[in-house]
Structure 1
């Protein structure tokens, strides 16, 4: 096999050898992958695929989960500090520690409740064409008892 390659290489002219060399170099530098840059349609029949990390959820659920994580972290830090203080001092009064470390938490909860009440009611704008009947009654639902009796009252 080697002798055939040598014999065919010897039988080539300089122009043929140059063309063969150019072909070999072009083959060596040919891309081995292709990237399709055509834009992907914004919608279609393929369902979305969940990505690694936090599961997909609404913005409200995301905000609530972050708030719960932050609250849990703050509670852990306050409780851990109180526990370490009582352990290190060996005579710290648990009631005093509870008051000192619980006061900021109570203050934050009170401020949060105050801010919730201070929110203005949203403006409601209705735009209709044609005859419209609006029922603006409020229903108060109360469920009580071991067998869960539900009572609806319109007010």
Structure 2
């Protein structure tokens, strides 16, 4: 047994009138706000999806690091494939090949740390009144086994 009822002509007429009434209502499809936008507001910036906001220098460094990591993965994968294919993956050779760059990076990082400590302190001088600045240069020549220095 079916409980469906077919719409009558009166129902169809009511539906047609309601649809016509809906079509007559003007609905805005867009809105334009012409009020002036403040140049500087009090609202904090909103982070957009994706990479977080960074300075141009940080963005460049990030792109450089990403490129370097891809290059490192390609070189490491190639070296692994060559050693595996040649059968020459001797543990001593592998340790020397892959340990040397790490030791070099470690030595360079320690050298840079020590070099930072050698730099002179940065001085800022603030003067009130007339200032006379005298810049002199001294050149010296030292020659011979028993050296005598003549500053001129």
Query: TM (normalized to structure 1)?
Result: 0.41
Largest Rg, 1 or 2: 2
**TM-score, length-scaled by structure 2:** 0.42
